[in-house]
Amino acid sequence: MKNHKLSIVLFGLLLLINSCFKKSEKTSNIDYTKWEEYQGGPDRNQYSTLNQITLENVKNLKPAWSHSLSDSGQMQMNPIIVDGILYGIGPDVRPFALNATTGEEIWTYGDPLKAWHSTSRGVTYWSNGEEDKRIYYGMGSHLYAIDALTGELIEDFADNGRMDLHKGLPEIAREKFLISNAPGTIYKNLIIVPLRMSEGSDAAPGDIRAFNVLTGEMVWTFHTIPYPGEEGYKTWENKDAYKNINVGAVNNWCGMTIDRENGILYVPLGSASPDFYGGNRLGGNLYSDCLVALNVETGEKLWHFQFTHHDIWDRDLPSTPNLIEVERDGKKINAIAQITKQGYVYVFDRFSGEPLFDIEEVPVPESTLIGEKSWETQPIPVKPDPFARSSEALTEDDISPYAENRQELLQIFRNADRRFFAPPSENPVLLLPGYDGGAEWGGAAADPKDGIIYINSNEMAWLLTVEKTENRSSEKLTIGKQLYLNHCATCHQKDRSGIPESRTPSLINIEQKYEKLALMKHIDKGKGMMPGFPNLTSQVKESIAEFLLNLESDKQEITTDYSAYYDPYRHTGYHKFLDSNGLPALTPPWGTLNAINLNNGEYLWKIPLGETPELKEKGFPTTGTENYGGPVVTKNGLLFIAGTTDGIFRAFNKQTGELLWEYQLPAPAFATPSIYESDGKQFIVIACGGEKLGTPKGNQIVAFSL
């Protein structure tokens, strides 16, 4: 073990020495005129050097083509473009290829009658440089490989063209829920795949695994919940945490960043599960909520930093980090910047992991829940200032002036715990930034050379509560009700009433809408942000459906045993802090766009992002809105972003924040655009799926040009 640690230290020193002599080469081989990877390139900077569209002529942008998909609904995908072909994935998780100049379909893969209704952020391209060109994408618990030119399944990959993503996980996790809805990362003949998992006690472990792109064989694994003898094992007081009983996740779901020149994979990790109660996982919980740098050839850890100790707020890292250069004392430093749900930006030396701005461990409140022990401090960077408001800084003046029920909101506000990092409680905690941030999965954009980062942020507050779990050890429950409480109640509530403010529908009287087979299919496939549950057996899905449709018989009564996945507290669901008209209860802005100079930690500008039409019509100032999907920037000074509930695609001057162009899309685009050139013309393309946040559905991919 000592030799192993020494080898990692020596490897890190070699990289550091190497960086001193080759600073100018670190990003030199990334072609920023192309968009062949998720978020534009391996450094995830959402950046382009194409320059046909300028500050002066951007006002002349018009739709060049649009393509309508067979299914409509939320699309989060960021298209990639390779050799004149645009590759994307629809709301039914069927990949497609279009002519990048005209938008005409080349192929679509998958059976529409067996469509998987979830969300996917895109596909991954791999080629051997010759005739073998492949698209990889996740659907359900499998990774698929298809021919990039024909759309046909590559049957000699893994098991007839698809690989079970449970491969390499411990036996206890083989039937647990997981899906991949973000593109994998390629290094030579390796693919490393992000995974989304359950957020309860039944979650699978989030081990990072690399697979051979040709065969699907596992090449290496990194245990995110350390095994005995591994670094970090002692940060879990539950020494059996790695066995995946009552504890799981610590997974990468948002994607990864890679420095291919130096062979380093940067993995932003999520929280341990269950999300809001950590009594079964006391301790600091490495590598939960960490940015981990791995040797991509072997999976060995080079360095890590933990952003939230013993996370009980679901503060998982929401997006891929950015590989950039910053200047200090006249010298260029190869850096990595990680944005967070909490509204902070952390900046590190890319090779050593040393912070480039001081980080202080700040005392936070103690938990009062039985069996819980929150961590005493949390790490906060001295600079830059947070790009999102904190609940602790709010006063009663921050209750929205537009609210008709302002007095009611003031009472809720006064009764809520607004302290910095207030732990979950049976009494309401005002969570701001909210569950989704702050920053979210759309990521930040950056010019890799000038040290400026561009971040869109949410300003939505939520009310967090937990409740004691009922002791049902001897209670008689039907199988269906037991399974409903285990899998569905957090979102749809114990009484099936749903959470209207979060647009989680009520399931009361659902028998008026669904027959049993149709409801079972819905449980299996999911829809929108509801994940499917293909890992559940047909009998389990049938039992849940029969419970919801009031079709159970007395014979289905059983004695429930909750000992396997018992937590003394459960999360009561996702409740937004809204006024009686469904608008945010706090004063605007409700969404912002931020430009931060990471050379000195100062802001260039900050503006509201998005409009609330009903308030705009009354002459009120720009409010900003909730927003999902990230910005893209160009070397010649433009920033493009959609993502807002008003459905407008906008272009700004990236130096000043001045609005230069806007276009009303056919449906809101909760996605990041892509910039590319085809047949000598520059395009910017975006997926318009709507549906999220109660907006109208859409099914169009729209490309703009001059």
Give the mean pLDDT of 425-450: 97
Which residue segment(s) compose the domain that 513 sits in?
470-561
Q: Is residue 116 part of a domain?
A: no
pTM for this entry: 0.90
Q: Is residue 477 part of a domain?
A: yes
Residues contacting 683, CB < 8 A, separation 6+: 64, 100, 675, 676, 677, 703, 704, 705
- Which pLDDT value is given to residue 501? 65
Q: Is residue 339 part of a domain?
A: no
* 356-398 pLDDT per residue, tens: 999 999 999 999 999 999 999 999 999 999 999 999 999 999 9
- Which pLDDT value is given to residue 26? 42
Q: Which amino acid is at 665?
A: L
Do 11 and 4 meet the contact criterion of CB atoms below 8 Å apart? no
Do 115 and 153 meet the contact criterion of CB atoms below 8 Å apart? no
Q: Is residue 101 part of a domain?
A: no
Q: Is residue 630 part of a domain?
A: no
CA distance linking residue 480 with residue 486, whole number of Å: 10
Give the mean pLDDT of 577-600: 98
CA distance linking residue 669 with residue 690, whole number of Å: 6
Give the mean pLDDT of 91-97: 96
Q: Is residue 506 part of a domain?
A: yes
* 110-120 pLDDT per residue, tens: 988 777 767 99
* Average pLDDT of the chain to the nearest whole number: 91
pLDDT(461) > 50: yes
Q: At what angle do helices 538-548 and 479-487 cross, to 10 degrees?
A: 100
Exposure string over 197-234, b if 16+ CB within 10 A, otherwise e: bbbbbbbbbbbbbbbbbbebeebbebbbbbeeeeebbe
Q: Closest Cα to residue 463, out of 488, 427, 436?
A: 427
Q: Is residue 554 part of a domain?
A: yes
Q: What is the CATH number of the domain that holds 498?
A: 1.10.760.10
Give the mean pLDDT of 424-442: 97
- Which pLDDT value is given to residue 15? 45
CA distance linking residue 345 with residue 387, whole number of Å: 8
- Which pLDDT value is given to residue 28? 54
Which pLDDT band holds residue 448 (cuts at 50, 70, 90)?
A: very high
- Which pLDDT value is given to residue 10? 44
CA distance linking residue 261 with residue 29, whole number of Å: 9
pLDDT(486) > 90: no
pLDDT(306) > 60: yes
Lowest mean pLDDT among 422-426, 548-552, 572-576, 588-592: 548-552
How many whole angstroms from its chain centre is CA 265? 18
Domain count, the chain: 1
Q: Is residue 505 part of a domain?
A: yes
